[in-house]
Every structure is written in C-alpha cells, then in structure tokens.
C-alpha cells in the first residue's frame, strides 16, 4: 500500500461527514477548507502540468462537494489533483492535538558535527542552522546538475544511504516519490517529513523509517485563503499558521 493510499484510507473514515466550503489553487500552495472552517494545505506542483491555460482538469465546481470526493484525488496521477486531495486530507486530520509540539523542528532533534544530513527538497531557513552544527549537508533538488550548493535528485540512491539524518519534503507525497525515497534512508537515525503539506498522522508511518513529522496547523483560515490566492507562501503565512512537530515510530518492517 502506498503512502497516498494510506492517507486516503485513514481520512476516508471521517470525510463523508464533511462538505467542501472553499478551494484555492495558488501558485505556491493549494488550500482546502471544509464546512467547519478547518483548512489544509499542500504545495502546488510546478512540473508535469497540463499544457495550456487549464491546469486543473478534474471535477468542477469543487465547492459543496462531499469531502470524500476530493480526498480520493490524493491517489490521482495528476499532480494538481493530488495536491487538492492532500490538502483535503490535511483539512480533515491536521487539527490541534496535545501530542503536537510547537516551534522549530531543529529544536526537536539533535544534529552534531559527526552527522551527514540529507535535505530532500530545499528548505532555506534550515540550511544555515544545520551548517552551523558542523554536519555535512547534502541538499537534493530536481535539477540536472549540481548548482548553488544543491545536488541533483538523481544522486539520491547513491548519497542518501550514507546519511544519518534526513529531512524529507512532504511534496514527495504529491509527486508520488515518497515510497521510493524512504527506501534509501535505511541508515538514518532520524527521518523527518517536513513542510506545510505534511499529514500529521503517525499511524500511517508506523512501519516506515519515519521518526518525526513537522507540519502546520492553520489558525486563521480566511486570511490564509487570501494569501494562497495571491500567490503567497510560507513567508506570508506568519500569523495565520502554527508550525508543529509530532514524533512518529521507528520502523518494524518495510512499507508494504
């Protein structure tokens, strides 16, 4: 079962009880609000989109649909549809919880000069603090050749197994690369799923190498929708989201 299928299976239990109130597919992020105001985010993919001016070719209108209809899109091969599905899942499951710790993810784990750190996806605010630890930092992005301190994702199968800590972008769920990527983290003592797209569901990661989840809770949904519609991203989200962290389980067996 893929991680996308697990997300759907987990959230499908509550989805039929909710209606879609609003959907925004912005240039940076996609946001979905359900009828009670709870809102989820997912990164809007920039690649492998439909040609032409219509990038979302799925069902319309989206508003007033039952939440399970949009949730099902998390399994779509279309990246925009997958983002809508993941944002719907996050609206359903990313809620305030006593298990959540607020604050920066780097305060929750220990990184030392002896570590080799992999960052799958470029999280700029973490780069300097990680380098200040003295750890070796490898940043992987979808580029053809090394550039600006980043390495092409084609090097992941070779380099990631050499690392001891991994920060893994949750957009890997949207582009369906998550399941392959975690297979290369076998030597990591910490594997953190990171970003606003992160579903804060420990159960679906219980038998994977994932040790922590670092995502967001939307605290001022109406304001967030306006920011998303205007092309805003994390730097604009200050004051309308709360960054949260949650421990996950160490693996007992490979992901099915």
| pLDDT tens, residue by residue, 161-220 | 999 999 999 999 999 999 999 999 999 999 999 999 999 999 999 999 999 999 999 999
Is the pLDDT at 245 greater than 50? The verdict is yes
Selection from 182, 172, 165 nearest residue 129 by Cα: 165
User: Which pLDDT belongs to residue 212?
Assistant: 97
Q: What is the pLDDT of residues 118-127, one digit of tens each?
A: 999 999 999 9
Pairing mode of beta strands 101-102, 241-247: antiparallel
Residue 254, pLDDT score: 39
Q: Average per-residue pLDDT in the chain?
A: 93
Which residues on adjacent β-strands are paired with residue 147? 150
Domain match, 242 and 125 both? yes
Neighbours of 14 (CB within 10 A): 14
Residue 231: inside a domain: no
Query: Which tens digit of pLDDT belongs to each residue from 121-150?
Result: 999 999 999 999 999 999 999 999 988 889
Q: Does residue 152 carry a pLDDT above 50?
A: yes
- pLDDT surpassing 60 at residue 256: no
pLDDT more than 70, % of the chain = 97
pLDDT category at 17 given cuts 50, 70, 90 is very high
If asked whether residues 113 and 157 sit together in one domain, one would say: yes
**Is 255 within a domain?**
no
Global pTM reads: 0.93
pLDDT at residue 252 tops 90: no
Report pLDDT for 209: 96
Structural domain harbouring 66:
3-93
Q: How many CA atoms lie within 13 A of 208 on its CB side?
A: 28
Q: Which residues contact 10 (CB under 8 A, 6 or more apart)?
A: 89, 93, 201, 203, 204
pLDDT at 98 exceeding the cut of 90: no
Q: Are residues 74 and 111 in the same domain?
A: no
Query: Do 13 and 37 reside in the same domain of the chain?
Result: yes
Last residue of a domain, one of 93, 110, 137: 93
Does position 255 have pLDDT exceeding 70, yes or no? Answer: no
Q: How many domains does the chain have?
A: 2
């Amino acid at each position: 079962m893929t991680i996308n299928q697990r997300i759907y299976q987990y959230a499908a239990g509550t989805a039929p009880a909710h209606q879609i109130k609003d959907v925004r597919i912005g240039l940076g992020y996609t946001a979905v609000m359900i009828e009670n105001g709870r809102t989820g985010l997912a990164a809007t993919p920039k690649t492998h989109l439909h040609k032409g001016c219509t990038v979302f070719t799925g069902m319309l209108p989206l508003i007033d649909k039952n939440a399970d209809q949009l949730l099902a899109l998390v399994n779509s091969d279309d990246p925009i549809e997958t983002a809508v599905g993941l944002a719907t899942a996050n609206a359903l499951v990313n809620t305030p919880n006593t298990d959540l710790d607020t604050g920066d993810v780097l305060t929750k784990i220990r990184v030392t000069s002896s570590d080799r750190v992999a960052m799958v996806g470029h999280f700029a605010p973490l780069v300097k603090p990680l380098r200040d630890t003295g750890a070796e930092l490898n940043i992987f992005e979808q580029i053809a050749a090394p550039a600006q301190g980043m390495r092409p994702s084609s090097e992941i199968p070779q380099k990631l197994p050499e690392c001891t800590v991994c920060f893994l972008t949750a957009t890997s769920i949207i582009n369906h690369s998550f399941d392959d990527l975690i297979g290369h983290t076998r030597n990591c003592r910490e594997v953190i799923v990171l970003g606003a797209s992160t579903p804060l569901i420990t159960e679906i990661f219980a038998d994977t190498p994932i040790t922590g989840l670092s995502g967001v809770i939307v605290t001022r949904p109406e304001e967030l929708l306006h920011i998303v519609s205007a092309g805003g991203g994390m730097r604009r989200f200050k004051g309308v989201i709360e960054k949260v962290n949650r421990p996950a389980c160490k693996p007992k067996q490979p992901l099915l």
